[in-house]
């Protein structure tokens, strides 16, 4: 049986491989501690769940939803955005509902790229940026993110000929997997290059609310004029512990959102109305649940940083995201070290090489497991490596 060449070009999906290794060990009776996947273990706040239950019983919510999203949801998203970032959006033309931000990231290139067009993609990065470009016949050109530059791309080092060929650029700050953050000066530089070369910025801001130590993540749309050259992705998954609910939204200039919506109108049928109304409760309701999440993850961050340092490993506490990005000990590559952790300590981490060539030499720990399991994982690693 023949399959498309684009399928053959895809690397194995990181999280599917992690799940496979975990299930293999568990089938052998092994108690695996999983630091590999950033899926919050904290429950969705009760007021959000209550809204879903109530709205799911209403027959009017059982029919096809709007392709662009309910007007009620898009207004709530625009109002949340204005409160959070001080940027006004037209809910009708500049906000688009998504079946989770991953879906949106995967589909946006279809609106912007023709076969052979170039998209600039960070390395290392969330794998969907690169694969979404491949799926629509585009050509991903990788931008290295290195520790010496704070895991920010050196935009000025990208050759003019590449900028001229590029139609879009993917970026993600606060960053997965490196946990790096970008300041306003970098976002202004990015907007300058994008305007100069007429390149659309796709900015994944899924971790905007998972921040620590007084850090507040900016939106790209805070930069004057950026709205017309950018699509920014927002997700309720990490902010409100709603990964399984599959709801998020994209914001940007009306021409970009209109083109994006045209793709989605021909591919999916929108987000279940009851889920959108629950998302309205999240965006408009009390936000103390978000602060509680931050405090839980900050505590876990400090606990894990202290534990890893006690083994003798070098790791810095991030000011955002759910992750620690750690250089592997001398003598290992990413996969070998992750394999040693699994075999010797029964601990799973994500090898940095799975996020791209420049991720080699690092592993990613997630903070989305209970405190006691973090402590136990640290003790296992100490016994295995001290």
Q: How far apart are CA 13 and CA 189, in angstroms?
A: 32
The CA distance from 327 to 275, in Å, is 40
Q: What percent of the chain has pLDDT over 70?
A: 98
Domain count along the chain = 2
d(CA 66, CA 197): 35
Does 150 share its domain with 17?
no
- C-beta atoms surrounding 128 within 10 Å: 18
Q: What stretch of H or E contains 82?
A: helix 71-85
Tens of pLDDT along 109-148? 999 999 999 999 999 999 999 999 999 999 999 999 999 9
Tens-place pLDDT, residues 146-180: 999 999 999 999 999 999 999 999 999 999 999 99
Structural domain boundaries, residue 29: 5-44+288-385
Question: Residue 127: which of 87, 169, 176, 82 has the closest Cα?
Answer: 176
Of the residues 237, 254, 284, the one at which a domain ends:
284
Closest CA to 196 of 147, 163, 155: 163
pTM of the shown model:
0.94
Q: What tokens does 238 get?
A: 């990490």
Q: Answer yes or no: do 190 and 260 share one domain.
A: yes
> Which pLDDT belongs to residue 24?
84
Q: Mark whether 19 and 57 lie in a shared domain.
A: no
CA distance 95 to 70: 11
Considering the domain architecture, whether residues 51 and 30 belong to the same structural domain is answered as no
Q: CATH number, domain at 186?
A: 3.40.640.10
If asked whether residues 27 and 55 sit together in one domain, one would say no
Same-domain status, 109 and 215 = yes
Q: If we measure between CA atoms, which residue out of 350, 347, 335 comes closest to residue 381?
A: 347
- Please identify, among 284, 318, 336, the residue that sits at the C-terminal boundary of a domain: 284
Buried-state track 39-52, b at ≥16 Cβ within 10 A, e below 16: bbeeebbeebeebb
């Amino acid at each position: 049986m023949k399959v498309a060449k684009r399928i053959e070009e895809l690397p194995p999906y990181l999280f599917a491989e992690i799940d496979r290794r975990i299930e293999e060990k568990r089938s052998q009776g092994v108690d695996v501690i999983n630091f590999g996947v950033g899926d919050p273990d904290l429950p969705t706040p009760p007021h959000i769940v209550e809204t879903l239950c109530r709205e799911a019983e209403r027959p009017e919510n059982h029919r096809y939803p709007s392709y662009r999203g309910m007007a009620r949801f898009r207004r709530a998203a625009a109002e949340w955005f204005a409160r959070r970032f001080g940027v006004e959006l037209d809910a009708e033309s500049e906000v688009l509902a998504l079946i989770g931000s991953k879906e949106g990231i995967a589909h946006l290139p279809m609106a912007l790229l023709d076969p052979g067009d170039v998209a600039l993609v960070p390395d290392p990065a969330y794998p969907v940026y690169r694969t979404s470009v491949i799926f629509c016949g585009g050509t991903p050109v990788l931008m290295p993110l290195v520790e010496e530059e704070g895991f920010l791309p050196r935009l000025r080092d990208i050759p003019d000929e590449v900028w001229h060929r590029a139609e879009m650029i993917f970026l993600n700050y606060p960053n997965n997997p490196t946990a790096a953050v970008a300041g306003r000066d970098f976002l202004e530089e990015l907007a300058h290059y994008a305007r100069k070369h007429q390149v659309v910025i796709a900015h994944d801001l899924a971790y905007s609310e998972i921040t620590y130590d007084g850090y507040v993540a900016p939106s790209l749309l805070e930069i004057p004029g950026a709205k017309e050259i950018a699509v920014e992705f927002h997700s309720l998954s990490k902010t409100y512990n709603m990964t399984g609910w599959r709801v998020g939204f994209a914001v940007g200039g009306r021409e970009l959102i209109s083109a994006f919506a045209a793709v989605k109108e021909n591919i999916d049928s929108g987000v279940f109305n009851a889920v959108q109304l629950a998302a309205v409760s999240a965006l408009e309701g009390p936000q103390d649940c978000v602060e509680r999440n931050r405090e839980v993850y900050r505590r876990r961050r400090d606990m894990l940083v202290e534990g890893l340092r006690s083994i003798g490993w070098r790791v810095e506490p991030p000011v955002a995201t759910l992750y620690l990005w750690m250089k592997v000990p001398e003598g290992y590559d990413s996969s070998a070290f992750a394999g040693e952790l699994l075999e010797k300590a029964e601990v799973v981490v994500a090898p940095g090489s799975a996020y791209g060539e420049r991720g080699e030499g690092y592993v990613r720990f997630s903070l989305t497991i209970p405190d006691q399991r973090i402590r136990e994982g640290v003790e296992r690693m100490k016994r295995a490596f001290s």
